[in-house]
Chains A and B, each alone.
Chain A
C-alpha cells in the first residue's frame, strides 16, 4: 500500500487542515465539498481558494444531495476546467463512476478524496437542528460499534471502503487517523502536502471491526419492512407511495431527462383501463406505483450503489433504498458486478457473451 500521512486524532479539524494543505500544495483550481450555507445549513459547493469561499465542512456526516448526481450535471457538457479536489463518500464516488459509464459525466481533471465511511445521518435530523456534540461522537475512532441514528442504508452498508479514490481518510493505529493514497497521483499529493508527517496506514483491525458491525447491520435493516416476499408484501410496502418520484430524482443513477414513468404513456386513461378494471375489479389511483418501482429496478438496480438518498427524500417513509439494495445486490451478484468498482468494467446491460444464459432463451 502506498505511503500515508498521520493526521492526528482531532477529527474533523485534522481533516479540514489536511484539505487546506492539499489545496495549497496540490495545484488545484478548486474543491468540490460540503460547506456551510449562508443560512447555517450544509450543501455541496464548488469553491476556489479565493476569499469569500464558504466554510468548508469536508465529509460532514450528511448527504444533502448525492455528489455523483451533482458532478454529472457539472460535467455532462465536458470535463471540469482545471484540476478539482472532489471530497465525497464512497457511494457517491461509485454512483458517479456508474454515470460516467453511461456517458453522462466525465472523470477528467477530478481528484477524489474519500473516506473509510462511517455513514451519514438522515436529512430530517439535520433540518431539526445540528448538535455539535454529534459531530464529535461521529468522528470518534471506530471500534466497530455503530454510531446511533445513521441512515438505514448506512447501517447496513458493507461497501464502506472506496474503490477508486486517489486519497482515502482512514482510521490508523492507536486512535489516529491517516490520509492514505489510493493512486499514484494520491501518493504524490501526500508527499507534497505532508513532507514531514509521520507515515501511517489504514488499520486492518479497525476495518475488520467495522465490517463485522456492518454485516450485522445489513441483516438487521433488511429483515423488517424491506423483507418483501411476494405480491401482497409488495403492494403493502408501496401502497402508501404517492407517486411523487422524488426517489428517482434524488437517485444518482436515474439520469433520464424524461423518465419513462413520467411520459404520457404512463397516464392511465379511462378507456385503456377498461380491461384492467375487468380483470382486477378495481385499480388504485395514482396508478402504476408498483410498476414505477419494479420498472425502475429493471432499469437501474444493476447500478444501485445503496446510497440511501431515495429513502432519505421519501415523504411517506417507504424503505426505498433498502428494497433497491436488496434487489440490486441480487442482480449484481448474478452478473458478478460491483457498481462503481472500475470505470473500465462494462455495464452488464451494455455487453454480452454469445453463449450465455441458456436457461433464459432456448
Chain B
C-alpha cells in the first residue's frame, strides 16, 4: 500500500505572500510535490476552521495553511488570529484522538520560492509517513 499511496494535500495559500511564493517556486522550476492542490485565500485569517475540517473529512490526507510572516500580514493582524484558530482546531482534533499532524500552518513570504518548495516537500514527506487519511474508504461520514 505504501508505494501506491499518492497523498492529496490541500494548500490554503494567502494571496499576498505564500501564493506568490508558490508562483515563484514554479517560475524558478523548483521541485514542488504534485500532491498539493493550491487554493488561494485573501488572508490566512479568511479560513473558517470549518473549511479546514471539510477538506480533512472529505478525504484530504493533509491540509497546509500558509500565510505572511508575523508582522507582515497585509491586513495587519490576520495571521495572528489565524494562528490562534488553527491552534485551537488542533487541540480539538487532539482531544478527539484525531491526527492533528495532518494540519500544518507555515509562514512563507512572496519572495520565498525556495522556502515554499522546502515546506511543501517536507509536509508531503510527513503525510506519506502518516499514510492515507483513515477517513477514506469509510462510508459513514
On A, residues with C-beta under 8 Å from B are 228-231, 233-235, 239, 260-261, 275-276, 279-284, 287-291, 294-295, 297-299, 301-302, 326-327, 330-331, 334-335, 348-349, 351-352, 354-357, 360-362
Contacts and interface: CB of A to CB of B under 8 A. Distances in A.
Interface in B58-114: 58-59, 67, 70-71, 77, 79-81, 83-98, 105-107
A280 B138 contact: yes
Contacts of A348: 84, 88
Contacts of B139: 280-284
Interface in B8-57: 8, 48-50, 53-54, 57
**Interface bin, chain B:** 35 or more
A290 B88 contact: no
Contacts of A230: 96-98
DSSP class of A's interface residues: helix, strand, loop or mixed?
A: helix
Given A230-B97, A298-B49, A361-B105, A331 B58 contact: no
B87 A360 contact: yes
B50 A280 contact: no
Contacts of A275: 58-59
A260 B50 CA distance: 9
Interface of B: 8, 48-50, 53-54, 57-59, 67, 70-71, 77, 79-81, 83-98, 105-107, 134-141
Nearest to B93: A294
Contact of B96 (A234, A280, A357): A234
Nearest to B77: A352
Nearest to A279: B59
B140 A298 contact: no
A298 B103 CA distance: 14
